[in-house]
Copies of this chain bind each other. A is one copy, B any other.
Amino acid sequence: MTEDFDRHNTKMAKKKAARDKIMATKTEEKGLIIIHTGKGKGKSSSAFGMIFRCIAHKMPCAVVQFIKGGMNTGERDLIEQNFGELCEFHTMGEGFTWETQDRSRDIEMAQAAWAKAKELILDDSRRMVLLDEINIALRYDYLDVAEVRDWLLANKPPMTHVVLTGRNARDELIEIADLVTEMELVKHPFRSGVKAQAGVEF
Chain A residues in contact with chain B, CB under 8 A?
Answer: 5, 8-9, 12-13, 15-16, 19, 23, 25-30, 32, 34-36, 38, 40-50, 52-57, 59, 61, 73-75, 77-78, 82, 97-104, 127-128, 161, 174, 177-190, 192-200, 202
Contact = CB atoms under 8 A, between A and B. Distances in A.
A57 B199 CA distance: 7
A29 B197 contact: yes
A187 B179 contact: yes
Nearest to A74: B56
A152 B179 CA distance: 35
Which are the 8 A-B pairs with shortest beta-carbon distances? Answer: A45-B49, A42-B46, A56-B74, A46-B46, A180-B186, A26-B195, A56-B78, A40-B181
Given A183-B183, A187-B174, A200-B50, A23 B78 contact: no
B53 A193 contact: no
A187 to B, nearest CB: 4
A186 B61 CA distance: 25
B195 A186 contact: no
A101 to B, nearest CB: 5
A26 B194 contact: yes
Given A26-B196, A49-B45, A82-B82, A103 B182 contact: no
Contacts of A182: 40, 183-184, 186
A177 to B, nearest CB: 6
Contacts of A197: 29, 32, 161
A14 to B, nearest CB: 8
Given A8-B103, A34-B200, 6 more contacts: A15-B98, A41-B179, A56-B73, A56-B74, A161-B199, A184-B184
A9 B195 contact: no
Nearest to A140: B8
A27 B57 contact: no
B127 A199 contact: yes
